[in-house]
């Protein structure tokens, strides 16, 4: 499993020249309806080639998405996507499609595409991930994206609001990471580099004992000289060295040894303690503490302001003291409120001024602009009233200092609660990361292979090829291979599979899983960022960075939302002010503590602060974050918002048969010879032909043939010459000067090999029993018939029944013969069957279903399924399948259970129900809140919304949207799945 998971590695893009051969998936040219055969010939004669720069791809899943999007267009002959060099090469027919249409198709799935010339393909590209602190709404993320895109040398910038991260593709020859960080800082946000390049392992070391710049330089030079060290980043203040290195050449223990030897014992190095001075979690905790501190300080000043303006004015003794005059009509109470409100406005509220200034500087307007305008209006109007009272012997007025200070306090409280809630959206990733044990037992051997030393080390110090001892009940410290011992390992925390898996010498183990009974010695094969656990975490993180198509709706609204709100607030103030000036409403409507201008101003400020795009911007990404995280814990890896959105629309599922509906472990159950020969000799000939085949049926034949050589574990078969694999039919080879053909009935008929009546009867009998009949020809004459059985997965029938109840149509497409296919389909309850299908025909069938209006999911496990997985709206790969299938798929079912098809669809439906609820709430809140804040209820009911309550409501809207998304954490798969039996055990 570990090696399979490693196929989804996200790697830094570097220049490698030509397009890499993988991933590449077959393509079928699609012509518009009504195109005649003559027109097809003309079209085929005018093909063109275009090379696109595609920015934003981070892994094979991205490449598969791009390739899928391009190949769905009419007139595409072929497309190859190179994730390493950010390139897509497309062969197309200009009369049916043009470069701009292809470019738009790539951009529609979330990547930036531009047409480039071949000579520019040597431009190197790197990727870095940056944590951005202080973003409040989708306007903020859009502002940062625009600023980054404007930097020369930056090819693509993707900013995720929910994760508060940016992923930037850039040319290091033109722009540096430092310049990128400076630009983000200039937009008003704090930027912290998380990683730069994901194909390298990275470790952070704390070094004590370095007292001068010279000693730091000596250590740096010593480390740079080591083979495999790629990059060193030093923070002298924290005494922290961050090293990027190639794990197959060196490792952290080597670094520590070199450091300590360099200083003759003066320097001491250790892994940098988690949570100190770096890491996303540390910054998140710091941000939470910071907001809480701001809120507390704001509260200290705001409570006295609130009491003097709202409470003490009704307490006779205190009221008299507050009403005492200082200068002219200036009262002690007003002066106190001014003094207390000023630090809240300009010190605690400084962040809003900074954010608003930098947002406006870059031509956009965000939440900070609304808050700054609203609080400034209340504060400076109150200052005007105070100064006027101080200079006038007759003027009396009521100030609004409590409005500005309470508004800032409630917004800070809302941001504090929002950050707390957002932190919980990524708990699934935190849980996955915490699966790795803290320590490991490292074994040292002598030349004879005897253990001479057992040493407990930090698990982050494990290097490739280390031998680690795993005790019963302990977690496996690293991905590796068992070299000694036997045990059962519980892999449910990684794969979701409940049953413990037997492990013995030669078997692979996954880091983070639990050893149940025996002692194991494992040799570490994948460490640090290469481990299966790290790959899963990275895939989930990448999925959470990707925007779902539905999020475009919120992004479009946020562009004009803030200017529209400012205009509405000005119109509201003006309408109420003019209505008061021209006596359009009774004087009795005006509260005794204010005049018509002040009433109008309060309505205007309320409109300004109640409407904010924060909730709208968080509606989709928070739900996608929680949904993909929950999916990972359920053993369903969803590769981003696009896959999640498509899955909830699925109404038709195409199933492969072998390894998907069936166990994928076929066995030879019967053999009938049609000519006189020794059975062992018969199997020796066909095993020699089939040993080169990757097909499961071929492997079953070879395994069965081994039984005739009980004394040999890996027998040497006779040499097979002129081997040919005929896709979907069988194999041909020459063995011992005899032409051996092993395959299905159609292959024999194509090669004009006569099939006797008794062979036909044997085939029919096998097919009736849902077995696959294989014919064997020797020198052009039929020599035998094999019956191969591949038992159904225990829950296959129940899964199909449940899908029917969910209004999802099921279809089976297989390369097997019609008789066996119909028997299997009848057994599981599938009505529509397509048999003897070649790989490209599976993809064509998917496209036909799409053309008829279905949203199609393809579930498969083999190389021959990858074209269909790419063509489908949602490709689901069985986790035990091949690397190419896993790479081509949008969703990986880690447990290899069919029930997870239902889990994936149900989870996506629940997630999108939550997104719709979020949008309804966010939009409904603004549609209701703005008119109420503008005073539409005031004439009839006397109800008005004070600005500070409007600010509290605005803060509460964002918190409520995040909390609504957080309810997905309690997702439970459909109860009907809990009763299904899997391999003899019930899944609880």
- Measured distance CA(10)–CA(8) in Å, rounded: 6
Collect contacts of 498-504 with beta carbons under 8 A, ≥24 apart. Answer: 498/982, 498/985, 498/987, 498/988, 499/982, 499/983, 499/985
Rounded alpha-carbon distances, angstroms, from residue 141 to 132, 133, 135, 626, 883: 9, 11, 7, 20, 35
CA dihedral 52, 56, 60, 65 (to 10 degrees): -70
| Phi, psi angles (nearest 5°) of residue 514 | -110, 125
- The C-alpha R_g of the chain, in whole angstroms, comes to 34
Cis peptide before 400 (omega within 30 of 0): no
Cα end-to-end span (Å), the chain: 23
What is the residue-wise DSSP string for 874-923?
A: EEEEETTS-HHHHHH-SEEETT--THHHHHHHHHHHHHHHHHHHHHHHHH
Residue with tokens 């074209």: 867
- For 425, counting Cβ atoms within 10 Å of its Cβ (0-12 exposed, 13-18 middle, 19+ buried), the class is buried
Rounded Cα distance between 784 and 686, Å, is: 11
CA distance 827 to 818: 14
Of the candidates 316, 309, 307, 315, the one whose C-alpha atom is nearest the C-alpha of residue 331 is 309
Report how many helices (DSSP H) and strands (DSSP E) the chain contains, helices first: 33, 38
For residue 935, the Cα-to-chain-centroid distance in whole angstroms is: 44
Q: Which of 555, 656, 873, 906 is catalytic?
A: 656
Query: 800-818: string of b/e by CB count within 10 Å (b at 16+)?
Result: bebbeeeebbbbbbbbbbe
Q: Identify the helix (H) or strand (E) that includes residue 454.
A: strand 451-458
Does the annotation mark 98 as catalytic?
no
> Do the strands 985-986 and 667-673 form a parallel or antiparallel pair, or are they unpaired?
unpaired
Task: Report the SS3 class of residue 634.
Answer: coil
Residue pair 626/830 in contact by the 8 Å Cβ criterion: no
* Pure H helices in 232-366: 252-262, 280-306, 316-322, 332-343, 350-361
Catalytic residue annotation: 656
């Amino acid at each position: 499993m570990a090696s399979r998971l490693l196929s989804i590695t996200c790697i830094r893009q570097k220049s490698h020249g030509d397009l890499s051969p993988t991933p590449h998936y077959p393509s079928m040219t699609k012509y518009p309806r009504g195109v005649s055969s003559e027109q097809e010939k003309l079209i085929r004669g005018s093909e063109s080639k275009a090379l696109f720069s595609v920015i934003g791809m981070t892994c094979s899943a991205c490449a598969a998405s791009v390739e899928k999007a391009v190949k769905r267009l009419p007139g595409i002959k072929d497309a190859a996507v190179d994730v390493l060099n950010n390139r897509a090469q497309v062969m197309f027919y200009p009369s049916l499609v043009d470069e701009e249409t292809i470019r738009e198709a790539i951009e529609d799935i979330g990547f930036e595409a531009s047409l480039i010339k071949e000579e520019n393909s040597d431009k190197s590209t790197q990727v870095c991930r940056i944590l951005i602190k202080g973003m409040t709404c989708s306007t903020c993320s859009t502002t940062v994206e625009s600023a980054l895109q404007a930097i020369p040398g930056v090819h693509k910038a993707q900013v995720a609001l929910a994760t508060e991260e940016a992923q930037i593709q850039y040319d290091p020859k033109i722009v540096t990471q430092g310049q990128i960080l400076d630009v983000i800082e200039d937009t008003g946000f704090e930027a912290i580099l998380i990683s730069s390049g994901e194909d390298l392992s990275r470790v952070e070391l704390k070094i004590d004992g370095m007292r001068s710049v010279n000693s730091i330089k000596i250590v740096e030079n010593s480390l740079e000289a080591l083979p495999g060290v790629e990059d060193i980043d030093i923070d002298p203040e924290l005494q922290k060295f961050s090293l990027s290195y190639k794990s197959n050449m060196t490792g952290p223990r080597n670094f520590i040894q070199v450091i300590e030897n360099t200083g003759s014992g003066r320097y001491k190095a250790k892994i940098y303690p988690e949570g100190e001075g770096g890491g996303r979690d540390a910054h998140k905790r710091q941000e939470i503490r910071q907001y809480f501190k701001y809120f507390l300080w704001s509260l200290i000043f705001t409570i006295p302001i609130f009491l003097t303006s709202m409470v003490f004015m009704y307490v006779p003794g205190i009221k008299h003291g507050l009403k005492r005059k200082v200068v002219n009509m200036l009262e002690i109470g007003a002066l106190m409120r001014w003094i207390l409100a000023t630090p809240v406005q300009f010190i605690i509220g400084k962040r809003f001024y900074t954010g608003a200034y930098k947002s406006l500087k870059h031509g956009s307007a965000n939440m900070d602009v609304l808050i700054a305008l609203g609080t400034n209006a209340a504060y400076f109007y109150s200052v005007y009233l105070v100064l006027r009272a101080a200079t006038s012997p007759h003027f009396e007025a009521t100030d609004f200092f409590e409005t500005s200070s309470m508004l800032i306090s409630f917004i800070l409280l809302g941001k504090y609660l929002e950050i707390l809630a957002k932190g919980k959206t990524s708990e699934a990733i935190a849980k996955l990361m915490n699966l790795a044990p803290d320590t490991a037992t490292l074994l040292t051997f002598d030349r004879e292979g005897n253990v001479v030393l057992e040493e407990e080390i930090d698990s982050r110090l494990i290097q490739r090829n280390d031998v680690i001892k795993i005790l019963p009940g302990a977690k496996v410290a690293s991905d590796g291979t068992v070299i000694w011992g036997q045990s059962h390992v519980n892999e449910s925390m990684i794969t979701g599979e409940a049953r413990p898996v037997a492990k013995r010498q030669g078997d692979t183990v996954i880091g983070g899983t639990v050893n149940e009974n025996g002692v194991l010695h494992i040799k570490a094969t994948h460490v640090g960022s290469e481990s299966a656990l790290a790959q899963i975490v990275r895939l989930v993180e990448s999925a959470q960075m990707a925007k779902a198509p539905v999020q475009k709706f919120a992004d479009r609204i946020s562009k004009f939302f803030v200017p529209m709100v400012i205009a509405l607030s000005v119109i509201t103030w003006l309408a109420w002010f003019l209505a008061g000036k021209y006596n359009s409403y009774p004087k009795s409507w005006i509260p005794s503590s204010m005049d018509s201008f002040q009433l109008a101003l309060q309505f205007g400020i309320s409109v300004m602060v109640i409407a904010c795009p924060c909730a709208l911007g968080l509606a989709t990404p928070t739900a996608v974050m929680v949904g993909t995280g929950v999916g990972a814990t359920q053993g369903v890896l969803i590769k981003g918002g696009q896959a999640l959105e498509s899955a909830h629309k699925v109404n038709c599922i195409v199933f492969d048969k072998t390894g998907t509906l069936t166990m994928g472990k076929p066995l030879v159950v019967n053999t009938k010879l049609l000519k006189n020969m020794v059975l062992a000799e018969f199997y020796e000939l066909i095993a020699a032909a089939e040993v080169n085949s990757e097909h499961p049926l071929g492997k079953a034949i070879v395994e069965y043939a081994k039984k005739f050589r009980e004394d040999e574990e890996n027998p040497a078969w006779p040499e097979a010459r002129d081997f040919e694999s005929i896709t979907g039919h069988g194999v041909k080879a020459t063995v011992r000067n005899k032409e051996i053909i092993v395959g299905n009935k159609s292959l024999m008929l194509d090669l004009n090999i006569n099939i006797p009546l008794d062979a036909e009867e044997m085939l029919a009998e096998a097919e009736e029993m849902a077995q696959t009949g294989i014919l064997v020809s020797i020198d052009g004459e039929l020599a035998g018939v094999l019956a191969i059985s591949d038992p159904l997965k225990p829950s296959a029938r129940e899964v199909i029944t449940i899908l029917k109840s969910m209004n999802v149509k099921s279809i089976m497409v297989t390369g097997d013969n019609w008789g066996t296919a119909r028997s299997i389909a009848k057994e599981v309850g599938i009505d529509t069957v397509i048999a003897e299908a070649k790989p490209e025909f599976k993809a064509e069938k998917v496209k036909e279903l799409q053309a008829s209006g279905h949203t199609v999911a393809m579930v498969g496990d083999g190389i021959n399924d990858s074209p269909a997985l790419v063509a489908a709206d949602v490709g689901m790969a069985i986790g035990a399948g091949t690397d190419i299938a896993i790479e081509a798929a949008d969703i990986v079912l880690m447990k290899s259970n069919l029930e997870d098809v239902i889990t994936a669809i149900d989870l996506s439906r629940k997630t999108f129900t939550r997104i719709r609820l979020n949008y309804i709430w966010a939009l409904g809140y603004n549609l209701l809140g703005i008119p109420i804040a503008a005073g539409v209820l005031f004439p009839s009911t006397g109800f008005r919304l004070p600005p500070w309550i409007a600010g509290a409501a605005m803060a509460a809207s964002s918190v409520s949207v995040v909390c609504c998304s957080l309810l997905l954490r309690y997702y439970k798969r459909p109860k009907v799945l809990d009763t299904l039996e899997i391999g003899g055990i019930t899944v609880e």
